[in-house]
Amino acid sequence: MFLTRIFERFVEASPVSVMTRALLEHAMSTKALNDLFGQHAEQQYTRELLFSTMVDLMSVVVAKIQPSVNAAYQAVSKAVPVKVQSVYNKLNGIEPQVVSAMVAHVAGRLGSVVHEMGGELPALLPKYRTRILDGNHLAATERRLEVLRGSIAGPLPGHALVVLDPQRMLATEMIACEDGHAQERSLSEQILKLVAKNDLWLADRNFCTAKLVGGIAAANAFYVIRQHANMTILSSGRLRRRGRTETGEVFEQSVTIRDETGAPMKARRIVVRLNQATRDGDIEMAILTNLPKSAADAVLVAELYRKRWTLETMFLAMTQMLNGEIDTLAYPRAALFGFGVALVTYNLLSTVTAALRAKFGAEKIQNDVSGYYIANEVRSMTAGMMIVLEPEVWREFQTMPAKTLAQRMLGWAENIDLAKYQRHARGPKKPVPKRTRYPDKTHVSTARLLAEAEAKRRAQK
């Protein structure tokens, strides 16, 4: 009874924190994580240090609750049955397929909750399961390894391909690659394993290969992919004007391209003559698709391609809210594990946002609510909840049906004060002035400069 009263006080004071923790238990229970590790690990095995413990340690670093893995370990060292070096040894050896399985498992569990809450966004194209694909080369790390010392070049710890479900706003898949220099196209085999019938895949030109577009078409799925210069056009029809979008004038032609075997394939080529050049200086953009015209005309195809930026926005949100690219993790497997934990943490927060959409309306949440402030509150409340509330309080959420949890989430959402998470639109950036003042000084006193400016202002009155 006492714990129930404390739990209800947390629900009243910070419902988003309670929602996040309940979702965490539902999607990432200790048993589920350890079972997942047992199913997918090939080289590593469990003695004393559980995979779930590694996820717990990395989670507080990714969420910016602790500054490093060492600090996270030190805070709970009495509960961890091994020395910190064993933690790092385990961390540096977590296999990529384990990380990929973790991301997919969490997305599956949370996706059911989003659906039951009615928190899905409108489909980008009705009757198609849309997936947005993009790659993220992890940022350069510190040069802590012997092989990196003395290197001028920045050491890249890995590369991750991420698949986003734009309707549920969840990262559903992560393809982890230890080679930081690997190109997206080198991972085509793994991408094609994720393609299902009637899928619609949106991707940039790095994925425009005969193998990928041919493989998607062979799976009875569809693509909207920007044309790469290396994609050979065997034949083409007349380019015809089809209309305009916000970004430019749209044209269309039928083309013939090759699949991986060299066999010809029919496709549509959509050309957008841009109002403004891209940051690469392009004034024209070509998009290839095998969507039938009855499903999407040329203008709609151009608009669909623009939705690819939804994944770029997700990466930006992750950077603002979480610490997903930890520069002290120089070993590729450790860095990829950290990024994977950041993806599942993002998915938890995104599911909370889905509950707000279901309760208050998608347009209001998208326009007025900042995920940064939600993440900040969860971060500040987590330590207190972990201390005050016993693990037993959360255990029921591990096996709770998605429909029941969805009802709880919507009930908790009633206590949320959206004003606490108000988004503040930034005004237009001012151009940075050239730094030509005080060329003969190594530093200046800000206080003195302010005083001089104030004295000058008063003298002019």
Q: Helices 332-360 and 309-321 meet at what angle, rounded to 10?
A: 100
Residue 1 — very low, low, confident or very high, per pLDDT cuts 50/70/90?
A: low
Amino acid 5: pLDDT: 84
Number of C-beta neighbours around residue 386 at 10 A: 14
pLDDT, one tens digit per residue, over 229-240 is 899 899 999 999
pLDDT tens digits, residue range 421-430? 998 877 677 7
Q: H helices within 134-200, ranges in order?
A: 188-192
Round to whole Å and give the CA distance between 80 and 86: 10
- Summarised one tens digit per residue, pLDDT across range 106-149 is 999 999 999 999 999 999 999 999 999 999 999 999 888 888 88
Note the helical H segments in 141-187: none
- The model's pTM: 0.91
Q: What is the pLDDT of residues 88-105, one digit of tens each?
A: 999 999 999 999 999 999
Helical spans, DSSP H, in 152-247 = 188-192, 210-218
Domain with CATH 3.90.350.10 in the chain: 101-109+120-319
pLDDT of residue 408 exceeding 90, the answer is yes
Q: What is d(CA 86, CA 93) in angstroms, rounded to the nearest whole number?
A: 11
Q: Over the chain, what is the mean pLDDT?
A: 93
What b/e readout covers 245-269, taking b as 16+ CB neighbours within 10 angstroms? Answer: bebbbbbbbebebbbeeeeebebbb
Q: Which CATH number fits domain 101-109+120-319: 1.20.1090.10, 3.40.718.10, 3.40.630.10, 3.90.350.10?
A: 3.90.350.10
pLDDT of 82 > 70? The answer is: yes
In contact, 192 and 165? CB cutoff 8 Å:
no
Lowest mean pLDDT among 213-217, 251-255, 308-312, 423-427: 423-427
Contact 133, 163 (CB under 8 A): yes
Tell me the C-alpha to C-alpha distance, in Å, between residue 429 and each of 275, 317, 424, 425, 435. 21, 19, 14, 12, 17
Examine the pLDDT at 150 and tell me if it is beyond 90: no
